């Protein structure tokens, strides 16, 4: 077990993602707002109406994984499926009134979570967000590259 151990960028992202989820979940629980599929609900609210394929690409998850999570939001009545005017075989996801209500009710918790992180940053928040955007873009391209590789 000798040798130097290095905390790689991917390990840092993985652990940071878990800490961020815990922080937001705690803030939402204090507000009495369900944290179930909250990130997905937020992304649909941010990018919707959006196709499931475009959303899965944005999130870097297989479409089958996304479909299961979307079914859970649908069962809660928090999303609507609209016809896709550009492709009759597809549909668009958007928030329902219940989805908007939960997202709005959670807003103080999300803001509180960001403020909790912001007060501990050594760099300006804008610089951190720009770096995160760059990392997300790089990861999205890396994942897309995996999908283009033939199976071995």
User: CA 100, CA 106: separation in Å to the nearest integer?
Assistant: 10
What percent of the residues of the chain are helix, what percent strand, and what percent coil, each to the nearest 5? 65, 5, 25
Query: What is the reported pLDDT for 35?
Result: 86
**Model pTM score:** 0.81
Q: Is 24 domain-assigned?
A: no
pLDDT (tens digit per residue) in 46-83: 999 999 999 998 888 889 999 999 999 999 999 999 99
Residue 128 lies in a domain: yes
> Residue 131's domain spans which residues?
33-147
DSSP 8-state code for residue 44: H
Q: Is residue 51 part of a domain?
A: yes
Does some domain include residue 20? no
Give yes or no for a contact between 92 and 81, defined as CB atoms under 8 angstroms apart.
yes
Whether 15 maps to a domain, the answer reads no
Residue 26 lies in a domain: no
* Euclidean distance between CA atoms 59 and 42, whole angstroms: 12
Structural domain contains residue 58: yes
* pLDDT-derived band at 1, boundaries 50, 70, 90: very low
Confidence of residue 36 (pLDDT cuts 50, 70, 90): confident
Average pLDDT across the chain, whole number: 91
Return the CATH number at 94. 1.10.10.10
How many domains, in total, are found in the chain?
Answer: 1
88-108 pLDDT, tens per residue? Answer: 899 999 999 999 999 999 999
The answer to whether the beta carbons of residues 119 and 111 sit under 8 Å apart is: no
Q: Would 23 be classed as within a structural domain?
A: no
Q: What is the mean pLDDT of residues 129-149?
A: 88
Beta carbons of 93 and 50 less than 8 angstroms apart = yes
């Amino acid at each position: 077990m000798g040798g130097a151990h290095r905390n790689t960028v991917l390990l840092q992202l993985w652990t940071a993602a878990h800490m961020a989820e815990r922080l937001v979940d705690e803030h939402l629980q204090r507000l009495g707002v369900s944290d179930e599929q909250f990130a997905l609900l937020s992304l649909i609210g941010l990018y919707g109406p959006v196709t499931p394929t475009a959303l899965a690409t944005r999130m870097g998850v297989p479409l089958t994984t996304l479909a299961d999570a979307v079914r859970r939001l649908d069962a809660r009545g928090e999303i609507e499926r609209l016809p896709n005017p550009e492709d009759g075989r597809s549909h668009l996801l958007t928030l329902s009134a219940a989805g908007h209500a939960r997202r709005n009710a959670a807003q103080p918790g999300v803001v509180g979570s960001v403020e909790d992180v912001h007060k501990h940053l050594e760099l300006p928040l804008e610089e951190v967000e720009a770096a995160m955007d760059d990392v997300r873009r790089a990861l999205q391209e890396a994942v897309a590259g995996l999908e283009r590789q033939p199976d071995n």
